[in-house]
Amino acid sequence: MNTLVAIIGAGPAGLLLSHLLYLKGIDSVVLETRTREDIESTIRAGVLEQGTMDILEAAGVGARMRSEGALHHGIELAFGGKRHRIDLSELTGRAITVYAQHEVIKDLVAARLAADGQILFEVSDVSVHGIDSEQPSVHFTHEGQPQQLIADFVIGCDGFHGIARPCIPDTLRRDYQRIYPFGWFGILVESEPSSEELIYAQHERGFALISTRSPTVQRHYFQCDPKDDVDNWSDDRIWSELHTRLESSDGWKLKEGKIFQKNIIGMRSFVSTPMQQGRLFLAGDAAHIVPPTGAKGMNLAVADVRLLSLALDEFYKDGKQGGLEKYTETALKRVWRAEHFSWWMTSLLHRFEDATPFQQALQRAELEYVVSSRAAATVLAENYVGLPFA
């Protein structure tokens, strides 16, 4: 098989890149180890920055996002028994949309298949060869048959545990990582929304987050031990913990419902550089991970593939390689900004077991400053809605 761009991974990064390249007349093939059903049903967070919303709209895949997603103009910070609203739109002129990642994937898969795009599901034994040559290749097995995909470029969009990043030798790669000493216990619940906007709560028992998925399904989280077991948490215990951490003096109450999914996710910050070697480029979680507090993961992936689509378009139209050569440098400016914001939000809102009373007082002072200073609130809002693309 031959193509111009071989893409490993059919997550948001890989699928969107394939579609953006198609719109520019550049052929690609997407390889995915999972089934279509798997990638369309794996529920993950979905806070879309303004720039991400704009890219999906421009790519012609924003109709369902616009009609079914929840457009939010603010968020709330809760601490000390009170809630404080950060007006994102008033501070920045921009907004966010809550629209789950698997719904974005559904839209992108449908768009690629409608355009006769090639997505090969359930591939195995994937390996990358010749990245320092002008014609790298991807070897894999599909439907029981060994195959070889020859391309001009290989793009690794296969996540943190994928095979693409290790293709860059350890001697040329530097990884930065922080593992946080806590995780998030997440639930999906059948209920009406408890709030019109997301609530980020800081409490002496730990962080909590009220989010939404649809008018009838809500997503809530609370800080927990990452080594805990979901079986240790009955529904009654979960609701008691959320009520304790979230309810405020203004009479607001969390709405309960049937919990139909429970899971625990670990939290890490991770960056691998460079994000390219020869004709291999990394995008999304293959190159960087952020803790979910800042709602940046999928948005960074979208920013990465936007850069790659522009650079590849420049290469094929004009024969110029400047965008490709500067990909790592350009992408990392946004990545490190998002890493810092996600770290800051995590530090601001979570309980650290080893925090001294002095450090706890500093945390509260910073929260008070954010909700009382327009300048501080604007910094939060600008980063949360996503900085404009350069």
The reported pLDDT for the residue numbered 59 is 97
Which candidate in 12, 22, 72, 193 is catalytic? Answer: 72
200 is catalytic: yes
CB atoms within 10 A of CB 230: 14
Is it the case that residue 390 has pLDDT exceeding 80? no
User: Tens digit of pLDDT for each residue in 122-144?
Assistant: 999 999 999 999 999 999 999 99
The reported pLDDT for the residue numbered 46 is 86
The CATH-assigned architecture of domain 5-72+97-176+268-345 is 3-Layer(bba) Sandwich (3.50)
Tokens of 56: 């999906």
Q: What is the pTM of this model?
A: 0.95
For 269, residues 6+ apart whose C-beta sits below 8 A from its C-beta are: 176, 177, 178, 180, 289, 290, 291, 339, 342, 343
pLDDT band for position 273 (50/70/90)? Answer: very high
Domain coordinates in residue numbering, the chain: 5-72+97-176+268-345, 180-267+351-385
pLDDT, average across residues 3-7: 98
340 is catalytic: no
Which candidate in 180, 200, 221, 327 is catalytic? Answer: 200
Is it the case that residue 249 has pLDDT exceeding 90? no
Angle, to 10 degrees, between the axis of helix 357-372 and the axis of helix 374-385? 90
Question: DSSP letter string over 336-347?
Answer: HHHHHHHHHHHH
Which candidate in 102, 106, 288, 296 is catalytic? Answer: 296
**Rounded-to-integer distance, Cα 192 and Cα 65, Å:** 19
pLDDT band for position 275 (50/70/90)? Answer: very high
Name which CATH class applies to 180-267+351-385: alpha beta
User: Tens digit of pLDDT for each residue in 276-297?
Assistant: 999 999 999 999 999 999 999 9
**Rounded-to-integer distance, Cα 59 and Cα 175, Å:** 33
User: Tens digit of pLDDT for each residue in 37-83?
Assistant: 999 988 777 899 999 999 999 999 999 999 999 999 999 999 999 99
102 is catalytic: no
Nearest to 139 by CA among 152, 121, 153, 126: 126
384 is catalytic: yes
The reported pLDDT for the residue numbered 348 is 97
Q: Average pLDDT of the chain?
A: 96
Angle, to 10 degrees, between the axis of helix 12-23 and the axis of helix 101-114? 40
Percent of the chain surpassing pLDDT 90 = 94
Q: Which residue has the higher pLDDT, 251 or 350?
A: 350
The answer to whether 5-72+97-176+268-345 and 180-267+351-385 have equal CATH topology is no
The reported pLDDT for the residue numbered 215 is 87
73 is catalytic: no
